Structure 1
């Protein structure tokens, strides 16, 4: 498996390129519009054909590169089921599997940060957690129909029940961290460690965070798969 973690400095967003070396087919997860040229160059260097652009959720802090990549490569845009978009080629359901040669990518519904969110378990050894679970943190729940109780349930019942050794690759990090494990996050993540559901809800209700700078631009653009 070809696996690359890509980073957009402005939004602190991680995108992921996953490809099968035999079929030379690839998928991009959480592409960023400003990084499309870099993503295309990497695809060309590795002699890969982009088959899918896949989203974990409708982002509020950056515009997806899906629309532009779809125009340039003919790839398909896939978003989680029930996402408020009018542009997707298909919607992915909980537990649905995307196959890419010998690679299997299974969707895990992890709502709470937003009301439509998926994590993706890749070949049973790593999980792309989107904004549901970050390294030593988690996504906020105070807009886009977020729900702190639902996020607690998603993380504790759907992600923390995975094997401890599975690698955790989030959609964001603001401190230079690149990867964790399920075991580490279960035992070290301060948002969840020693907290029950109610104390987590109280914590998330009092974060007092400012809204993402690009939110008013990004959300409507991403409802159109990045068409601006």
Structure 2
């Protein structure tokens, strides 16, 4: 199984990619709206087909990318039926199973943080994706949005702590850079619910906490009840000046074929060194040559009246040129995918 743990720094949210190595079918758990380009780029680079997006609960600190990813890939949306969110294809109940070829997740209802909190457990009980129910050395708060500390205690102790001790815990958030834990660790060391704490200990602890109101709750909750669909029902604007693909590294790229067909409408910036440009590229006839080593000093020479596409031998140096141009205020800029090597094979 392919497993990737992805991070959104703004909300401290983890998104999990699970995929079958043979069939290349994939599941995304707790995707973030603003990170959809990143997630789509990773799926493309790993040659994966997204089949299911699953949210562990109705998030209060970020908007899910479930609806957006459904529009982009045709995947199905899964979440707890208790949430009653719109656009959901798989309304999940406690005890259900769902997944893709060779990757099956068991559904365990774990309310207490919210009514719709769900933990997804891999069929062999080796991994649990606990959402906000159980965090690493912590747990979700229970002071708003149907929170109930007694119910949360029972969810953790009866549905998660009953898993095998070596079951890996993957939470929806961590605010200190911790990536995973285990059932045994949390039973022993979780300061709220571990180390022999009983229900009264836990409830008193949770009631004594004083936490700030989630900053994005007023926008996030209504949007997440629509599975992340914007209020106007429209997809976010995409760059319309070129057929752009954004890589997992965050670089905007265009294919050589697009550049060949659209040469008059763009500035082609060749950042190879002078001694690399002996062989002429056909049908390239209007490139501006500024070696990467000189680009910062000569960046004012790059025209601003047209979009800029950057070129080098392999597409690596020219991707750095994209960053330099953006820092200098160019907003319509992209790298030519694969550089001269790919250009010649086009």
- d(CA) in 2 for partners of 1:169, 1:31: 14
Residue of structure 2 equivalent to 1:118: 118
Q: SS state of the match for residue 215, structure 2?
A: coil
- d(CA) in 2 for partners of 1:210, 1:147: 18
Runs of 4+ aligned structure 1 residues displaced above 4 Å come to: none
* Paired residue total: 228
Q: SS state of the match for residue 68, structure 1?
A: helix
Residue of structure 1 equivalent to 2:202: 200
- d(CA) in 2 for partners of 1:200, 1:119: 20
1:65-121: CA deviation from partner (whole Å, max 9, x where unpaired): 011101110111111121131221120111211131111111111110101111011
Residue of structure 2 equivalent to 1:17: 17
Residue of structure 1 equivalent to 2:172: 171
Residue of structure 1 equivalent to 2:106: 106
1:195-222: CA deviation from partner (whole Å, max 9, x where unpaired): 2112211111121101111010000000
Residue of structure 1 equivalent to 2:216: 214
TM-score, normalised relative to structure 1: 0.98
Structure 1: gaps of 5 or more residues: none
- d(CA) in 2 for partners of 1:119, 1:176: 21
Of 30-39 and 90-99, the range deviating more from structure 2: 90-99
Residue of structure 1 equivalent to 2:185: 184
- How far does residue 52 in structure 1 lie from its aligned partner after superposition? 0.6
1:105-154: CA deviation from partner (whole Å, max 9, x where unpaired): 11111110101111011142110010000000000011111110000000
Of 93-102 and 64-73, the range deviating more from structure 2: 93-102
Q: Which has the higher contact order (CA 8 A, sep 6+)?
A: 1
Residue of structure 2 equivalent to 1:42: 42
Residue of structure 2 equivalent to 1:92: 92
Structure 2: gaps of 5 or more residues: 231-346
- How far does residue 8 in structure 1 lie from its aligned partner after superposition? 0.3
- d(CA) in 1 for partners of 2:86, 2:147: 20
Cα RMSD after superposing both structures: 0.9
Q: SS state of the match for residue 151, structure 2?
A: helix
Residue of structure 2 equivalent to 1:135: 136
- d(CA) in 1 for partners of 2:187, 2:197: 11
Q: SS state of the match for residue 4, structure 1?
A: strand
TM-score, normalised relative to structure 2: 0.65
- d(CA) in 1 for partners of 2:79, 2:103: 19
